[in-house]
Amino acid sequence: MKDKIIIKSTDLFSNLGFKSVTMDDIANEMGISKKTIYQHFQNKTKLVEATAMHVFENISKGIDCICELNTNPINEIYEIKRFVMLNLKDEKSSPQYQLQKYYPKIYCSLKRKQFEKMIGCVTRNLERGVTQKLYRDSIEVDFIARLYFNGMISLKDQDIFPRDTYAMQNLMNNYIDYHLRGICSTKGLETLTELNTNL
């Protein structure tokens, strides 16, 4: 039952927002009593935390699977982007933004986990790209990895990129293109051009 509550809550929070969805809404949607939810979650904050970590774990596992394929590093970045967009495509309420506003402690904890996950993933990508001569050997891997993470987080900041003006798909595409053109070698740029032609 606990897993079912998390899955249904994730769906509701993603579409309607953390603020507007109540425990009553979740109970009604599931056809259970509110008391049943409270048997598994002490309060709404605990449920919000569980759903946020549920989404993070699912996306992390998917990214791990893509990285294990060991494809060329430029292609890997686009595959990860496609996977993430597929998983977040139904988010109509900008959960990350709402999390930051209404549940700052959960947001900070999630951001730390995202940082640890992404730094490892991006660092390995950069190192492989340099080894395969797709990225310039003069890049500072740790600096670029941190910059990339910070940029990705900024894309979700609605004060900088209001959702009614900037579609997330376009933001991600533009940011990845910007990132890769800054680090690619001549060989890498040829690969990037070829990839963009086939997209």
Do the beta carbons of residue 21 and residue 10 sit within 8 Å? no
Q: Which of 89-98, 136-145, 154-163, 180-189 has the lowest mean pLDDT?
A: 89-98
pLDDT in tens, 108-147: 999 999 999 999 999 999 999 999 999 999 999 999 999 9
User: What pLDDT is attached to residue 93?
Assistant: 52
User: What pLDDT is attached to residue 100?
Assistant: 86
User: What pLDDT is attached to residue 168?
Assistant: 86
Q: Which CATH number fits domain 44-198: 1.10.357.10, 3.40.50.720, 2.60.40.1760, 3.40.50.150?
A: 1.10.357.10
- Pure H helices in 17-158: 23-30, 34-40, 44-68, 73-88, 95-102, 104-131, 141-155
User: If you average pLDDT over every residue of the chain, what do you get?
Assistant: 92
> How big is the CA angle at 117 (ends 116 and 119), to the nearest 5 degrees?
65
pLDDT at residue 91 is higher than 60:
no
Report how far apart, in Å, the C-alpha atoms of 80 and of each of 59, 73, 83, 135 are. 9, 11, 5, 18
Phi–psi pair at 19, nearest 5 degrees: -70, -45
pLDDT in tens, 47-75: 999 999 999 999 999 999 999 999 999 99
Q: How far apart are CA 159 and CA 155, in angstroms?
A: 10
User: What pLDDT is attached to residue 134?
Assistant: 98
User: What pLDDT is attached to residue 144?
Assistant: 98
DSSP for residue 31: T
pLDDT in tens, 183-199: 999 999 999 999 888 76
Percent of the chain scoring above 90 in pLDDT:
77
Q: Report residue 143 CA to chain centroid gap.
A: 20
Percent of the chain scoring above 70 in pLDDT:
96
Q: How far apart are CA 158 and CA 97, in angstroms?
A: 7
**DSSP-assigned letters across all residues of 54-67:** HHHHHHHHHHHHHH
pLDDT at residue 14 is higher than 60:
yes
pLDDT-derived band at 16 (thresholds 50, 70, 90) equals confident
| Other beta carbons within 10 Å of 157 | 13
Using the structure block, give the residue that is written with the tokens 């606990």.
2
- Whole-model pTM: value is 0.87
Domain ranges, ordered by start, for the chain: 44-198
Give me the count of residues in the chain.
Answer: 199
